Structure 1
Amino acid sequence: MATSSRSVIGDLSRRGFIKSTAAAAGGLVVACYLPGCSKPEQVAKHSGPPKMVKANAWLQIGTDGSITMFCDKSEMGQGVYTALPTLLAEELGVEPTTIKVEFAPPGNEYVNKLLGAQATGGSTSVREAWDKIRMAGAEARTRLIAAAAKEWGAPPQSCTVADGYVLFTSRRASFGELAEAAAAMPAPQNVQVKGHNEFKYVGKVLPRLDTPSKVDGSAQYGIDMRLPGMLYAALAQPPELGASVKSFNADKAKTMPGVREVLQTSSGVAVVADTWWQAKTARDALDIQWAPGAAAKLTNASIYAGLKTASSGKGLDVRKEGDVDAGWKENTRRVEATYELPLLAHATLEPQNCTVEFRDDGCHVYAPTQVQQMSQSAAMKASGLPAEKVFVHTTFLGGGFGRRLDVDFVPAAVECAKAMNKPVKLLWTREDDTTHDKYRPPARNTLSGAFDGNGKLNTVKIHLVAPSITSRWAPGAVPQGTPDPFAVEAAHNFPYDVPNLHIDYLQHEVGLEVGYWRSVSHALNCFTVESFMDELAAEAQMDPVEFRRSLLGKQPRWLSVLDAAAHKANWGQPPAGRYQGVALMSGYDTYLAQVAEISLDGDKLKVHRIVCAIDCGQMVNPGIVQAQAEGGIIFGLTAALFSEINVVNGKVQETNFDKYRLLRINEAPSIEIHLLNSDEKPGGMGEPTVALVAPAVCNAIYAATKKRLRKLPIAKQGFTI
């Protein structure tokens, strides 16, 4: 936790961290410089909006006193449009509502240092911005004070800032008046960020800055884009995964109202028309012959059979402590279980879309994307233009959940706009989206545990088998012979104190491309580990909470959330006819425990209540934290109860929300979020609550029925909802 006397954050140089642009900018532009990104000297070569400085994140103070923040994270409901400006406002001493927010363009300088790519994901937005955005604000504040102090002949340490002014005794000057002079000041030597006890905005529940525009309809999502003279495109994609266009007949489609052109693209056949419905109707009239691909015979049965066969092999070591082989041989009181997890779709409420316009200066891409540079690269390849002529304009995202970490919806839009020489908006249907997703990986995980002669848990083995997303998405991040770090989450940090522990991961590809899905492998492995911990508790004849507590003596943050959740849920004393289950996890530098309360009427399951205790370190805006926690629980409960993607002969069977349904409002439980106060650095909150729902609910089902659920979704395991 930073204090008011700190002069260094992490390993970042105060001198080299931030440089200003030239005074010709008409104001003060401050950029955050991180080692390994563009050099700070480059900043001086750029000036003024709308041009962006080559920096990770920066702010502009105009001579009119306006403050603009260029946000390097995509806003998909998780609240960065509010949280990141709040960090800036805190250091500048201004109301967050006075800061205008614009989204940053593609650039190496905007690489998310926690992910190694320009990407919004992994619940990293606030964690990654915590130091650098505060530093940007503190640097600007220091420059403004220095400029005012020089003008007044005053000691800088006696000057303060408030509400857009620098103050000294009875004198004051606005940020706008000082902006040009501040830009000319030398880089300050000793910048101080505020300490916890000085925060005015951080840690408070403040209104979201994006709410007004979303209420009045002025917020721009990708699907909202309108450009003069714009045409619309609908894309026919292969009905079978991996298939390609063999031939097509467009004669009928070309005669239909509004149709301008039928084009073969890199991902299918597109119809371009005056309206999207005209394009979609004509698309459906196309006669296309498809050439089957490698997935033509792929079925769920073959996928899970492959995982089962692969699971007999040895994986790459993730963690090894003690002597597991000896512990297993010496202790014959054992528990073994295998858990299977299904393929899942992201099901973003805004289907994939992209709008493209070619202008004199190049190709402009308007997209709800989580990866600006990858979108730019896809557009470069499709357009044949260099990076400096491809501009990506990020819109609000109507749901991301990891789906928009892929850019398969960009190339066809670029190809259509290039062919038509007019702006074109390409929009996928819900059916396109559900049947052509980058699905959450399936998994087959086998766990084993052994107790010693005193009834103490002595040995645990965790064998994870699943495809690797990162090997496709960022192969350089997974060196040969090392496990994909995004495949072993919520297992590698197994918190329970046992003498002998072995965790390994075996990568097994299943014949289709898999993608990052909200909480990634936390959802897979938390279900596995926390379900198994309940099985071990039953074998030990101990209460599930007390069993976990007995193994968490060295893990105070884990223990704190477990105790808080159990206390708030009145653990062990549910209302008559109800049953409880618990799950515990740490992910994204956040610690959580959940208690689910359910009832059963025959085979009809009702989830009545979920209580969640969270320690996510310092909170920027507790209101946003609570909203994310609640939304994650609903998302996780939908998946636990209903969600599964089925493939038959290469064709995905689920098409829309009638077959891949969401939780309905009458099915939603009462949700209680309890946030623990902490001065630790912020943890992530976009994803973690998703992962605990399935094991907590399934453990509650065991409490009610003594039936173990080792497969999901629950609705396909003999229960109705």
Structure 2
Amino acid sequence: MTDIVTPAAIDSPTRRRFLQVGAAAGGGLLIGFGLTACSREDRNAKPPEAAVGHATTNVTGDAPALAQRAFIRIDRQGVVTLIVHKTEMGQGTYTSMPMLIAEELEVDLSQVKLEHAPADNSLYSDPLLGGQVTGGSTSIRGGWQPMREAGAAARIVLIGAAAQAWKVDAGECQARNGKVTHTATGRTMHYGELVDAAAKMDTPKTITLKKPDEFTVIGKSLKRLDSPEKVNGQAKFGIDVRLPNMLVATVAACPVPGGKLQAADEAKAMAVKGVRHVLKLDNAVAVVGDHMWAAKQGLAALDPTWSDGPNAAMTTATIVADMKTASNTAGVVARNDGDANKEAPKGGQRLEAVYEMPFLAHATMEPMNCTVDLRADGCDLWLGTQVPALAQGAAAKLTGLTNDQVKVHNHFIGGGFGRRLEVDMVTQAVAFAKQVKQPVKFVWTREEDIQHDMYRPYYYDRLSATIDDKGMPQSWSHRITGSSIMARFAPAAMKDGLDPDAVEGARDMPYKIPNVHVDYVRHEPPVPTAFWRGVGPTHNIWVVESFIDELAAASKQDPVAYRRELLDKSPRLRQVLNLAAEKANWGTPARAVEGHRVGRGVSAQFAFGSYIAQVIDVAVDPAGEVKVTRVVCAVDCGQLVNPDTVMAQIESGVVFGLTAALWNEITFDKGRVQQSNFGDYRMMRLNEAPRIEVVLAKSTDDPGGIGEPGTAATAPALTNAIFAATGQRIRKLPVSSAQLKTA
């Protein structure tokens, strides 16, 4: 695996939030605000029924110089610029986060402009992840309080500046639509007229935020700010970068993890028109040309050969066999309530099952790429990354430069899903760039991308449970075996060998069961693994919700009623379960499809701070092919910021989850990945997409995350529906049509 720089601590100590007011260079108003960090384990730990009211926050305290932390600028034309510490990769961050500012600042959303934050972990750390990271469905959750406070602080000092100019009490003035009005006389001043005076005002000592019933921006389905330039082609993704004197390269790495480059025919590559350089690393080669076509043709002519190394005989079967053996050993205890080894009570029974999830690629629409301009005195990187500061640190470490000498130019991302939380592309590109004296854009082909991804881990889970004579669960045991992403990505998050992400969704399952044991066996195959649109929940919720369904079936009880009975301590989850069941007409037969077996399945979850229930209808043909005909998803993600964005995120998450569960897996033979492109790692097509209905519950609780929950909820509802249709329980993904064929 590529050596990368990791966050110092994913659960860094809480830092005092601060606000400061000052002047912008060249005139105008600057508002600096801090971001409060908390541990990943606390991210779901809000009181389940806590309501948001009039939030009054003390914002005084010692803080670094304002110039170092200026997150909002207001210029003399009244234009508001937000320095966004998150990356836009299709999730709507560049609209929803400005909405938080616009709400409290009292400006129209169109007045807010955006700039990418520079790479800097100390200034732009995510409050829920402890680093400059876009991931974990944290953008709105982390920005909800501090961004509204910053907008409110700006409003307060602008009102104060107007009141001072008019020699009236600030309480006699109000802000609306980017201007301050003196209520008694009707006098008005636009923000742009007030910014210089406001920059000299004292920082507000207390700030009163709006109550939900006062919102005029938050809660509305507003048009996305990034859509126009994406539609008209002006939006710049990493792969779009063009620089003066820039060359283009494509690469090939050893197809077997741990292998090395053995030989390459440089003369043939250099004979291709437009090829300028052949670059070599221990385990990879790159051909550099005037354009991508020359580079690709040169790489084909280069025809590198490889020494496969210690993993030459690796297959999926050998990996799974090793995991099966490892799963027989007790793991690190994540939860231990009561005695989960108790015998089944009289009249009850014990159930056991093994569930398996495959390696998965991210297969982002924009393949991995990085443009590098490396000089003796500095290095510039152009790319789309979820971790700008990690990319900066990786390049600095490899070149011997300081972080200040490495500049990251971040761009829109054409699909992240956790893949661009990694910086392996950066380290490879910079290592190659050390051999070239001009800017080079390095681009992986789709085949290189899929065959050298950092994959969602393979998981091998053992479960057992007992039910009483009424079918109610009395004990539950869940052993999770898989690799640890956190041990590599954020080692400080590991406590006594326990990976908190690997057990998320299992340790904190919402059901009332008196005796529960959950443990984790860390087992590292020689395959690089990484986050994948959520890892712990997208794995564990499938396992938990599938096995709960098994208990309901063994008890001969309705799956919704069974869950409802076990959710008396989670009213918000029970509410969305009821809502999804109602909208999906649960209890009535699934719509008949001629020649098909039909069924309906359900799942319920609390993950990423949000409550979701999903109902899926399927039709299975005699050949075992599954058609998803309808998806109903009920969502309680707390206060809705932009409902349209929430619905879009759920819809995309459902399609992503269905695609993976129905068809996707990465397999190995002779050490090599067997899939290479969308022909054998397929995507859901338009004609295969089901009707998706998203039902949003009203709530005034603090927002939960929404980027990943839709994906996590999908696989269990799907496989439970397949069971309802066919009587076949799916315990290994992807779904096998051979298992579902009729005789």
The alignment's C-alpha RMSD in Å is 2.1
Superposition deviation, residue 134 in structure 1? 0.8
Q: Deviations over 1:155-186 (max 9, x none)?
A: 11222112221221322222222112211212
Are 1:600 and 2:620 an aligned pair? yes
For residue 581 of structure 1, give the secondary structure of its aligned residue in structure 2: strand
Change beyond 3 A, Cα 1:653–1:40: farther
- Are 2:69 and 2:123, in contact at CA under 8 Å, matched by a contact in 1? yes
Superposition deviation, residue 413 in structure 1? 2.9
- Are 2:580 and 2:634, in contact at CA under 8 Å, matched by a contact in 1? yes
Gaps of 5+ in 1: 1-9, 47-52
CA distance in 2, matches of 1:340, 1:326: 25
CA distance in 2, matches of 1:17, 1:331: 61
CA distance in 2, matches of 1:374, 1:719: 46
CA distance in 1, matches of 2:376, 2:658: 49
Determine which of 559, 562, 566 is the counterpart of 1:551. 566
Determine which of 82, 95, 117 is the counterpart of 1:82. 95
Superposition deviation, residue 575 in structure 1? 2.3
CA distance in 1, matches of 2:14, 2:488: 32
Change beyond 3 A, Cα 1:635–1:40: farther
| Equivalent residues in 2 for 1:363-442, closer than 5 Å | 363-442=379-458
Determine which of 576, 583, 605 is the counterpart of 2:592. 576
Determine which of 529, 537, 542 is the counterpart of 1:514. 529
Q: Deviations over 1:285-324 (max 9, x none)?
A: 1143423334322210011101111111111111121222
- Are 1:644 and 1:660, in contact at CA under 8 Å, matched by a contact in 2? yes
Change beyond 3 A, Cα 1:41–1:114: closer
- Name 2:158's counterpart in structure 1: 144
- Name 1:315's counterpart in structure 2: 331
Answer with 552-561 or 426-435: which moved more.
552-561
CA distance in 2, matches of 1:455, 1:581: 19
Change beyond 3 A, Cα 1:164–1:417: farther
- Name 2:180's counterpart in structure 1: 166
Determine which of 238, 243, 255 is the counterpart of 2:271. 255
Superposition deviation, residue 281 in structure 1? 1.1
- Name 1:43's counterpart in structure 2: 65
CA distance in 2, matches of 1:475, 1:41: 28
Q: Deviations over 1:443-473 (max 9, x none)?
A: 1111111123454321111111111111111
- Are 1:364 and 1:391, in contact at CA under 8 Å, matched by a contact in 2? yes
Determine which of 671, 693, 711 is the counterpart of 2:692. 671
- Name 1:686's counterpart in structure 2: 707
User: Structure 2 counterpart of 1:668, which letter?
Assistant: A
- Are 1:582 and 1:593, in contact at CA under 8 Å, matched by a contact in 2? yes
Change beyond 3 A, Cα 1:160–1:720: farther
The total of aligned residue pairs comes to 699
User: Structure 2 counterpart of 1:611, which letter?
Assistant: V
- Name 2:367's counterpart in structure 1: 351
Answer with 18-27 or 65-74: which moved more.
18-27
- Are 1:72 and 1:103, in contact at CA under 8 Å, matched by a contact in 2? yes
Superposition deviation, residue 558 in structure 1? 1.2
Are 1:706 and 2:727 an aligned pair? yes
Change beyond 3 A, Cα 1:412–1:459: closer
Superposition deviation, residue 329 in structure 1? 7.7
Determine which of 587, 591, 594 is the counterpart of 2:607. 587
- Name 1:535's counterpart in structure 2: 550
CA distance in 1, matches of 2:166, 2:741: 75
User: Structure 2 counterpart of 1:124, which letter?
Assistant: T
User: Structure 2 counterpart of 1:344, which letter?
Assistant: L
User: Structure 2 counterpart of 1:465, which letter?
Assistant: T
- Name 2:52's counterpart in structure 1: none
Are 1:281 and 2:297 an aligned pair? yes
- Name 1:264's counterpart in structure 2: 280
Q: TM-score, normalised by structure 2?
A: 0.91
For residue 355 of structure 1, give the secondary structure of its aligned residue in structure 2: strand
Q: Deviations over 1:108-162 (max 9, x none)?
A: 2211121122110000111011011111111111111122212221111222112
Superposition deviation, residue 692 in structure 1? 1.9
- Are 2:270 and 2:277, in contact at CA under 8 Å, matched by a contact in 1? yes
Superposition deviation, residue 246 in structure 1? 3.7
Percent identity between matched residues is 46
Q: Deviations over 1:641-689 (max 9, x none)?
A: 0000011121101000001000111111111110100111101110111
For residue 21 of structure 2, give the secondary structure of its aligned residue in structure 1: coil
CA distance in 1, matches of 2:142, 2:443: 32
- Are 2:367 and 2:446, in contact at CA under 8 Å, matched by a contact in 1? yes
Are 1:643 and 2:664 an aligned pair? yes
- Are 1:347 and 1:434, in contact at CA under 8 Å, matched by a contact in 2? yes
- Name 2:109's counterpart in structure 1: 96
Are 1:207 and 2:208 an aligned pair? no
| Equivalent residues in 2 for 1:225-264, closer than 5 Å | 225-264=241-280
- Name 1:625's counterpart in structure 2: 646
Superposition deviation, residue 20 in structure 1? 2.8
CA distance in 1, matches of 2:74, 2:435: 41
Determine which of 86, 98, 106 is the counterpart of 2:119. 106
For residue 309 of structure 2, give the secondary structure of its aligned residue in structure 1: coil
- Are 1:530 and 1:584, in contact at CA under 8 Å, matched by a contact in 2? yes
Gaps of 5+ in 2: 1-12, 39-60
- Name 1:54's counterpart in structure 2: 69
Determine which of 579, 586, 605 is the counterpart of 1:564. 579
User: Structure 1 counterpart of 2:580, which letter?
Assistant: A
- Name 1:444's counterpart in structure 2: 460
For residue 42 of structure 1, give the secondary structure of its aligned residue in structure 2: coil
For residue 145 of structure 1, give the secondary structure of its aligned residue in structure 2: helix
- Name 2:513's counterpart in structure 1: 498
For residue 714 of structure 1, give the secondary structure of its aligned residue in structure 2: coil
Change beyond 3 A, Cα 1:156–1:11: farther
Q: Deviations over 1:66-98 (max 9, x none)?
A: 211111111000000000001011111111111
User: Structure 2 counterpart of 1:204, which letter?
Assistant: K
For residue 311 of structure 2, give the secondary structure of its aligned residue in structure 1: coil
| Equivalent residues in 2 for 1:440-479, closer than 5 Å | 440-479=456-495
CA distance in 1, matches of 2:374, 2:199: 35
CA distance in 1, matches of 2:19, 2:467: 56
For residue 485 of structure 1, give the secondary structure of its aligned residue in structure 2: coil
Answer with 238-247 or 180-189: which moved more.
238-247
CA distance in 2, matches of 1:290, 1:500: 53
- Are 1:327 and 1:500, in contact at CA under 8 Å, matched by a contact in 2? no
Q: Deviations over 1:552-591 (max 9, x none)?
A: 1121011001101111000121223531111111100101
Are 1:19 and 2:20 an aligned pair? yes
- Are 1:324 and 1:459, in contact at CA under 8 Å, matched by a contact in 2? yes
- Are 1:89 and 1:99, in contact at CA under 8 Å, matched by a contact in 2? yes
CA distance in 2, matches of 1:128, 1:429: 35
- Name 2:34's counterpart in structure 1: 33
Are 1:72 and 2:92 an aligned pair? no
User: Structure 1 counterpart of 2:396, which letter?
Assistant: M
- Are 1:31 and 1:43, in contact at CA under 8 Å, matched by a contact in 2? no
CA distance in 2, matches of 1:513, 1:714: 24
Q: Deviations over 1:507-537 (max 9, x none)?
A: 1111211100012121211111111111100
Change beyond 3 A, Cα 1:261–1:720: farther
Superposition deviation, residue 429 in structure 1? 0.3
CA distance in 1, matches of 2:389, 2:177: 36
CA distance in 1, matches of 2:400, 2:546: 51
Superposition deviation, residue 601 in structure 1? 2.4
Superposition deviation, residue 493 in structure 1? 1.4
